[in-house]
Structures are given as structure tokens and as C-alpha cells.
């Protein structure tokens, strides 16, 4: 997996972000965890869990 640094922060993230908007609406809890596990196992470490996303809160689901 390719990684990039965010400015001078020292944070190293993947250039692709895993969006979680559909978690809790288009995919149930089990499907959401399967998607997260696949992304994590692929090396993705950049997740979008904006507070405007559905209930249940995706940030809680994503950990």
C-alpha cells in the first residue's frame, strides 16, 4: 500500500480514504464490519467518519 505524509505533521496515511457514509443505512452492522476489516487488511488507515453521517454513528462503529 502506498502512503503519504500530511504536511509536516508526521502522519502517514493512504492516498485513498475509506468513506463510511453508508454504514447504518445501506449496510447493516455485520456488512459494515466486513467492509472495515477488508479495508484495514488492505492497509487503508484513513477513514471518513463525519458527524453528519447516519445513526448509529459511524465513528463508533469504526472504532
In the chain, count H helices and then E strands. Answer: 2, 4
53 carries an active-site annotation? yes
CB 17 within 8 A of CB 46: yes
Query: How far, in Å, CA of 16 to CA of 25, rounded?
Result: 22
Catalytic residue list = 53
Amino acid at each position: 500500500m502506498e502512503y503519504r505524509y500530511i504536511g509536516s505533521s508526521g502522519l502517514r496515511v493512504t492516498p485513498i480514504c475509506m468513506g463510511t457514509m453508508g454504514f447504518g443505512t445501506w449496510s447493516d452492522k455485520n456488512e459494515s464490519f466486513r467492509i472495515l476489516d477488508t479495508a484495514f487488511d488492505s492497509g487503508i488507515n484513513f477513514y471518513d467518519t463525519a458527524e453528519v453521517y447516519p445513526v448509529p454513528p459511524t465513528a463508533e462503529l469504526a472504532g
